[in-house]
Amino acid sequence: MSVRPLPQSTPAAQGVDADGVHAFLDALEASPDIAPHSLMILRHGHLVASGWWAPYAQDRLHLLYSLSKSFTATAAGLAAAEGLIRLDDPVISYFPEFEADITDPRSRAMLVRHVASMSSGHVAETLDRAQAIDREELVRGFLMVPPDRDPGTVFAYNQPATYTLAAIVQRVTGQSLIDYLRPRLFEPLGIGEAVWQRDRAGRDLGFSGLHSTTDAVLRLGQLYLQNGVWEGERLLPASWVAEATRPQVSNADGSPGGTDWKQGYGLQFWMSRHGYRGDGAYGQFCVVLPEHDAVIAITEETVQMQQVLDLIWEHLLPAFRPAPLSGREQTDAALAERLAGLALPPAAGKPAPAERAEEWATVEFAPGEPSARTTSVEVAAGADGTRLTLVEDGHRIELRLVENGWNVAEEPVPTAVSGGWTDTGTLEADVIFLETPHRLTLTCSLPDRTFTARWHTQPLHPLPLHAMGAPRSF
């Protein structure tokens, strides 16, 4: 389906100071620990700023990691509105086939509300323990891990809790999360393609694995900001929005100050020092600011997620003014021009060394360290540039280095590559897997014919390289 564009406006017309957005962009790009991929800002229902750092692009799906959880919560809210689930039902009531196995009284007392709010009674993540008990049926494995406390009394960020909520929705609807959400959420909101990674049981993961556009993230946030109403039509009950976006359980640890991960947890939404948010590993954000009538969607690659939120509070919050601004035409135009030209700097590197051209013409490199999953790297010079081929268990990813920029390829998985020679014996290239937040640096050494491979951030889903993209890509 075609995506309906959001209403657009200049920042000044919606009371947004473009200088604050410039300052935010400056801070993102100045940080050595942040590689921004996209930014969209909605104010008073109007898109006032949007940009993608090339080689990322507007229509490119992006792995959301745990921001997927907020979409799962929305599916649960829709199922609740249809009378298919109730927050105060015992979880075990949806899985009667496990009745004989689940004997712990706390597990049997666990409610849908508890798995939706990360208050199952466990005091720590249970994924490894649940998988060890039953790798084929994670719900059973999770319910067989006895909670440490009474459900509802303690917070612990816990992937199987969300997985169980997602499994309940998929069981009562008879559909995958994607199929259930499409006519009820994606189509009414004007969201295009979205795909979800599945597990061994054939279920959409729920707690992670959703690939969608930044635009989809922004629209979800705006739906919640509008209390579940979109273009005059109620999609979500106002009561669900209120429950999802208020603290259901405390996650404060008593330390002074407190970060944005210590402000309370709703139903698959985090409470923030300002507003609330969904977020995912390595900096995927949907920040909803009711007090400013604004939504901010960000994708990026960073482990410094608190730093990103701090920059939002420092630069963007003051930019939201109570009334339209006058005389800002040039400032708004300058911001629009900047946003249209955003780009990640390509990896550094020099052209192929002429004095060693014959040695580099065709060469194969073996792994220089046991942890490298790629079994070999081939380099071949040609009229159209240097070809860099990654070989992994018989699968080949063929890349082509061009001077001074990123070269994008779509098959077998969307990638962008840049790089060159750091000296006459060393070729270094960065490979971005464009439907994920991840970048791989390859270093090939001519003297010993070996290569090393280093992830800038470690992928949380252990996939082969040719499958490092949205599931429909392979």
Is the domain of 320 the same as that of 385?
no
Write down the pLDDT at residue 179: 97
Share above pLDDT 70 across residues of the chain, in percent, rounded to a whole number: 97
CATH number at residue 368: 2.40.128
pLDDT digits (tens, 9 = 90+) for 189-224: 999 999 999 998 899 999 999 999 999 999 999 999
With b for 16 or more beta-carbon neighbours within 10 A and e for fewer, the 261-294 pattern comes to bbbbbbbbbbbbebbbbbbbbbbbbbbbbeebbb
Question: What pLDDT does residue 258 have?
Answer: 67
The yes-or-no verdict on residue 50 having pLDDT over 80 is: yes
Q: Output the average pLDDT for the chain.
A: 94
| Mean pLDDT (whole number) for 80-90 | 97
Query: Which tens digits make up the pLDDT trace of 228-241?
Result: 999 999 999 999 99
Domain that holds residue 26: 12-82+167-340
**What does the pLDDT average to over 154-173?**
98
The answer to whether residues 399 and 463 belong to one domain is: yes
- For 352, the token pair is 């192929």
Distance of alpha carbon 269 from alpha carbon 174, whole angstroms: 25
| Model confidence at 386: pLDDT above 70 | yes
Alpha carbons 200 and 202: distance in angstroms, whole number: 5
Provide the CATH number for the domain around residue 191: 3.40.710.10
Residues 250-270 have a mean pLDDT of 86
Categorize the per-residue pLDDT at 252 as very low, low, confident or very high, splitting at 50, 70 and 90.
confident
- Looking at the chain, how many residues does it have? 474
How much is the pLDDT for 372? Answer: 57
Token code pair at residue 191: 């969201």
Within-domain flag for 63 = yes
- The total of structural domains in the chain comes to 2
Which residue's structure tokens are 């067989």?
144
Asked if residue 332 and residue 370 are part of one domain, the reply reads no
Per the domain annotation, does 394 fall within a domain? yes
Instruction: Scan for tokens 């069981």, then name that residue.
Output: 171
For 148-162, what is the mean pLDDT?
A: 97
Any domain includes 226: yes
pLDDT given at position 394 = 85
In tens, the pLDDT along 266-305 reads 999 999 999 999 999 999 999 999 999 999 999 999 999 9
Residue 285 CB partners (closer than 8 Å, separation 6+)? 67, 217, 277, 278, 279, 296, 297, 298, 299, 305, 308, 309
Give the predicted TM-score (pTM) of the model: 0.95
Q: State the pLDDT at residue 374.
A: 75
Arithmetic mean of pLDDT, 176-191: 97
- 109 domain residue, yes or no: no
Report yes or no on 97 lying in a domain: no
Q: Which pLDDT score, from 0 to 100, does residue 265 have?
A: 97
